[in-house]
Structure formats: C-alpha cells, structure tokens
Amino acid sequence: MIRRIEKLILREIDFNLLKSHAEKIYPLEAPAILIGKIMANIASVDEVILTKNNDESPISFTIDSTELLEIYKKANRENKEVVGIFHSHPAPPKPSRLDMKFMSSNPFVWIIMSMPGGDFEAYQLWNNILHKVNIIFN
C-alpha cells in the first residue's frame, strides 16, 4: 500500500541508467518503473525497469498495459512494490496537467527529468497536494 513518501533512496548507477535512457530516446519522453520497498515514509529503489513509450511522443508517454502488469507481478513475486515512475520532459522538471491527472490515480513518487539538460525533481501527489520528495543517492 502506497503512503506519503518524503524520501526516495536511489543508487547512482540506477539514476545514471535513467538519465541514459532519457538521453537515448530524446526528444521522446522516456518512461521507467521503479520497484522496491517502502518503510515508514522512505521508499528504497531496488530495481529500475526501463519501458517503451508507446505514444512515441515528446509530450506524453504510455506504458503497454501487458508490460505494466508483468512489472507488478514481478514486484509481487519478489515481495516488493512499485514505488515510483520516471519520465523525461522537454520542459522544466515539473508535472504537467496530464501528469497531475495520472499522479492522482498512481500516487507513487514521480521523478521527472528535463531534457536535454538533465535537471530533475521528484514529486508525489498525496491527498490532492503536490509534495516534493527528496532523492537520496547511495
């Protein structure tokens, strides 16, 4: 069960993988799913799963529902959960209106990376309030 997250622990190697994914498919948005564990108000990322942007768009992304279901099954088999969603933006790293719509039904941590610059921020929409989430690298 997802709860309010204040910190997200992410390995630098995983962050570099996300950045490389965003650079590789730029100018399209690059999505990924983060799985791991949540303890209290801290989410820890154990694995990054790079996904295809089915929209093939620079301003939106969709992940194939079959692929998404397999990711959820994998997390469940490993006693983990989806803790975050990553995607790149061609604009500043802030949620778009479309992001906000999907954040309300997917209350994970959302990491947004601005491309091509690589600036990033993490957010969680919790109780209809957008909160910044601190990323701690290890």
Per domain, the residue ranges of the chain are: 7-137
Both tokens assigned to 134 = 């601190």
What is the overall mean pLDDT for the chain? 95
Strand order in the sheet with 129-132: 129-132, 120-126, 109-114, 81-89, 32-39, 42-50, 7-10, 134-137
Contact (Cβ atoms closer than 8 angstroms) between residue 12 and residue 137? yes
CATH class held by domain 7-137: alpha beta
* Whole-number percent of the chain with pLDDT over 70: 99
Helix (DSSP H) and strand (DSSP E) numbers for the chain: 3, 8
Q: State pTM to two decimals.
A: 0.95
Q: What is the pLDDT of residue 74?
A: 98
Cα gap 22→128, rounded to integer Å: 28
